[in-house]
Amino acid sequence: MGEYITLAHGSGGVEMLEILEKLFFRRVREEFKRVEGGVGIDVADDAAAIPIPGGRYIVVSSDAYTVNPPFFPGGNIGVLAASGSINDVLMMGGLPIALLDAIIVEEGFPIRDLETIVESMIKLLEEERVALIGGDFKVMPRGQVDKITITTTAIGVSNGPPIVDKPRPGDRIIVSDYIGEHGAVILLTQLGLSSDLGELVSDVKPLTKLMNPLVSRYRDCITAARDPTRGGLAGVLNEWASRSGVLIAIKDADVPIRDPVRRVADMLGVDPYFLASEGVAVLSIKPECVEEVLEYIHKLGFNEARVIGEVRESERFKGYVAAETPIGGLRVVEPPRGELVPRIC
């Protein structure tokens, strides 16, 4: 087909990188891919950075959120939209200070629901001490948008150079929490199987309590930081491996996954590493700091954080992510591609 956009183009996998390359990266001249001295679309990272006097940087990230259904166990699209952009700024080493939101809503959408969504967004921003400084509000005729989409732009300040992801051989990979919970909840809900959810709720939350102290204290130890949203853990690790030309080796047994998520993944035949998290950080940490950093993360209340693997130099296997399986086998962790859909066979 080729000439039409498919859902796969928006699933955060191989196809999306291809379409972005085709639409943007190839067309924008190098000098206009960033502000001089900053970070822009010259590197595909969480956010952009613009240098300001005093060795500091403005960090900006913009993201459009659509989620079906807009209300899901553990949150709603408002919480998701605010947390998501805040997290992108945090993962770049910035402390978020302000947010703008653009809401497009479908004619006929209940105002009460909209109130709930906006209220929860505002409450979250208050807790995060992030100002809501602007936005837009539009209504589309019925059927021209699926209920609601929210675009948020988060702005933050980084006191040092931004964290541009560049894992180096020897680094250890840390995940801060159980993975895949948001993805599992959404997938089950969309399939009409929310009765199978049990206690499981989305993990959507801002990661300020983790990232802000961590970055202030250990910025030099962090070579990469990312929240594994679309594309999941597999997406982040594969992107790191291929962009930095390294091999990333992890141990399946060390990756924290809660039983219900594992069960959902089993039932639907999807790899839990592909399921999105909306409140988890994946970090690449220099080997000399790793123990101290992990201990500190635990102290911050992220008790499930653990080292799941390490970065290796490899001529033959650069760009690969390999996992030792629980029974001692070996497999390649693939990058996500296509839409995440359940398998029958």
Partner 1 sequence: MFSKLYLELERELRYNKRAAEAVENKIHRLFIEYSGREGVERLKIMDFCGTHEWSITYYGLRSLMPRGLELVAGPGCPVCVVPSHYIEEAIKLSFEGVVVYAYGDVYKLRAKRSVKGAFSLSEARSLGADVRVVQDVLSAARDASSHGKPSVFIAVGFETAAPAYAWAILRDHLPGNLKLLSLVKLTPPAMFYSLEVSREKPTEPPISGVIAPGHVSTITGAKAWVPVAENYGIPVVVSGFEPLDVLVSILEILRQLVAGRAEVVIEYKRSVSWHGDVKAQSAVNRVFEVVDDAWRGIGFLPKSGLRIRDNYRRHDAIAEYGVRELKPGMWEKDMPPGCRCAEVVLGKAYPTHCPLFMKSCTPLKPIGPCMVSIEGTCAIWARYGSREFLDELAREIGEAS
Does the protein bind partner 1 through residue 7 (CB under 8 A)? yes
Report the nearest approach of partner 1 to the CB of residue 345 (Å): 4
- Using the rule CB under 8 A, which residue among 16, 125, 255, 268 binds partner 1? 268
List the structure tokens of 338. Answer: 């296509």
Residue (264 or 281) nearer to partner 1, CB: 264
Report the nearest approach of partner 1 to the CB of residue 69 (Å): 15
- Using the rule CB under 8 A, which residue among 191, 201, 289, 300 binds partner 1? 191
Binding mask 323-342 for partner 1 (x = CB under 8 A): xxxxxxxxxx-x--xxx-xx
Element (H, E) at 157: strand 148-158
Residue (197 or 300) nearer to partner 1, CB: 197
For the chain, the farthest-separated pair of C-alpha atoms sits apart, in whole angstroms, at 58
List the structure tokens of 78. Answer: 């408002």
Quick one: angle between helices 290-299 and 208-218, nearest 10? 140
Element (H, E) at 83: helix 77-91
Of residues 81, 147, 142, the one with CA closest to residue 113: 147
Does the protein bind partner 1 through residue 234 (CB under 8 A)? no
Binding mask 35-74 for partner 1 (x = CB under 8 A): ----------------------------------------
Q: What is the dihedral of CA 144, 139, 154, 175, to 10 degrees?
A: -40
Report the nearest approach of partner 1 to the CB of residue 204 (Å): 23
Element (H, E) at 76: strand 75-76
The radius of gyration of the chain's CA atoms, rounded to the nearest angstrom, is 20
Residue (68 or 216) nearer to partner 1, CB: 68
Residue (274 or 302) nearer to partner 1, CB: 274
Does the protein bind partner 1 through residue 166 (CB under 8 A)? no
Site residues (CB under 8 A) for partner 1, limited to 133-152: none
Residue (84 or 272) nearer to partner 1, CB: 272
Residue (107 or 259) nearer to partner 1, CB: 259
Rounded distance between C-alpha atoms, residue 42 and residue 31, angstroms: 9
165-196 burial, b if ≥16 CB within 10 A, otherwise e?
bebeeebbbbbbbbbbbbbbbbbbbeeeeeeb
Does the protein bind partner 1 through residue 249 (CB under 8 A)? yes
Does the protein bind partner 1 through residue 301 (CB under 8 A)? no
In angstroms, what CA-CA distances link 10 with 16, 152, 231, 279, 337? 6, 17, 10, 21, 10
Which residues are near partner 1 by CB under 8 A?
A: 1, 3-8, 191-193, 196, 198, 247, 249, 253, 259, 263, 268-269, 271, 312, 314, 316-317, 320, 322-332, 334, 337-339, 341-345
